[in-house]
């Protein structure tokens, strides 16, 4: 009986040794099972077997240039598909446009959902590890000419005009680096002329706004390019200053057009998220 048990165990070991056991897939191979990846982030992957492909889902919130590419020692091939998992017209897959043998695709994409596909180049039964990168380049927002309306220069006295450069650096190095900041810049310049008229018509409100601006300059002059507008709003602005800002915005909104009221509420919502 003991020998029979040993024989069964031995037979089991032999069978297991020769059966191809499926390798667990780290990322789904269809759009339905795709791995979600955020914009401006990376994810590691492995092409485990010949014919394996990994699919990643990401969203674009507004029209912008998107770059997807891999890094690593593996020779990769990449493709970019639409929300219905179809190839984008005029945008073929790519093999070696990136560094070494990595793929790289750069495309101007409208808002929507897209799928990045990573696999071995056609005809090559190779496996290996890679890192996928998904990056965007938000469209640039041009500031108005110096002769155009600027709320900051309206509020600053002559001796404080040096603060304008700090404000511009904050705009260019922090606000313009993400979609939330770009939205705030657009709102600022779109409604600056109306806001200036409101401030010039209310001396006390203008003085209050000027004092708040100086307080904000003291905060943003110590920020770095690694900071975000959301983190600064939540972590660096004291409660009393936040209350003063909200009270000032309420007064400006009360005197402004319906469009300005909506813009102010939109800005608040962006910073809360």
pLDDT in tens, 196-221: 888 889 888 888 888 888 888 888 77
Does residue 77 lie in a domain region? yes
191 vs 145: CA distance, rounded Å: 15
| pTM over cut 0.85 | no
pLDDT 10s digits, 139-193: 554 555 544 456 766 676 666 667 777 777 777 777 666 656 666 666 677 788 8
What is the rounded distance in angstroms from the CA atom of residue 61 to the CA atom of residue 69?
20
127 and 54 fall within a common domain: yes
Per-residue pLDDT tens over the stretch 31-88 = 989 999 999 999 999 998 878 889 999 998 888 889 999 999 999 999 999 998 888 8
Q: Residue 171 is part of which domain span?
A: 151-272
> At 125, which CATH number?
2.60.120.380
**How deeply is 159 buried, as exposed, middle or buried, from its count of CB atoms within 10 A (0-12, 13-18, 19+)?**
exposed
User: For the chain, what is the domain count?
Assistant: 2
Contacts 24+ apart (CB under 8 A), 233-236: 233/271, 234/271
Residue 171 · residue 206 · CB < 8 Å: no
Same domain flag for 65 and 127: yes
In-domain check, residue 251: yes
Are residues 254 and 158 part of one domain?
yes
């Amino acid at each position: 009986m003991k020998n029979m048990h040993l024989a069964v165990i031995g037979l089991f070991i032999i069978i297991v040794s020769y059966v191809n056991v499926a390798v667990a897939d780290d990322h789904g191979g269809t759009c339905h099972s795709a791995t979600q990846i955020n914009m401006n982030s990376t994810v590691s992957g492995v092409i485990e077997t010949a014919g394996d492909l990994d699919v990643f889902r990401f969203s674009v919130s507004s029209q912008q240039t998107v770059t997807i590419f891999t890094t690593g020692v593996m020779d990769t091939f990449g493709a970019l598909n639409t929300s219905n998992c179809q190839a984008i017209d005029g945008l073929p897959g790519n093999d070696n446009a990136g560094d070494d043998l990595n793929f790289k695709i750069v495309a101007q994409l409208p808002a929507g959902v897209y799928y990045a596909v990573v696999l071995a180049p056609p005809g090559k039964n190779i496996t290996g590890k890679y890192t996928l990168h998904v990056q965007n380049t938000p469209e640039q927002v041009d500031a108005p000419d110096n002769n155009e309306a600027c709320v900051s220069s309206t509020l600053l006295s002559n001796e404080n005009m040096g603060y304008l450069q700090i404000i511009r650096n904050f705009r260019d190095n922090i606000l313009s680096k993400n979609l939330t900041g770009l939205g705030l810049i657009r709102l600022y310049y779109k409604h600056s002329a109306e806001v200036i008229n409101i401030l010039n018509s209310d001396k006390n409100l203008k003085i209050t706004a000027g004092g708040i601006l100086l307080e904000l300059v003291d905060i943003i002059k110590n920020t770095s390019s690694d900071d975000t507008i959301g983190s600064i709003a939540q972590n660096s602005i004291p409660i009393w200053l936040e209350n003063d800002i909200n009270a000032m915005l309420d007064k400006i909104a009360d005197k402004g057009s319906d469009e300005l009221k909506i813009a102010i509420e939109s800005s608040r919502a962006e910073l809360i998220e």
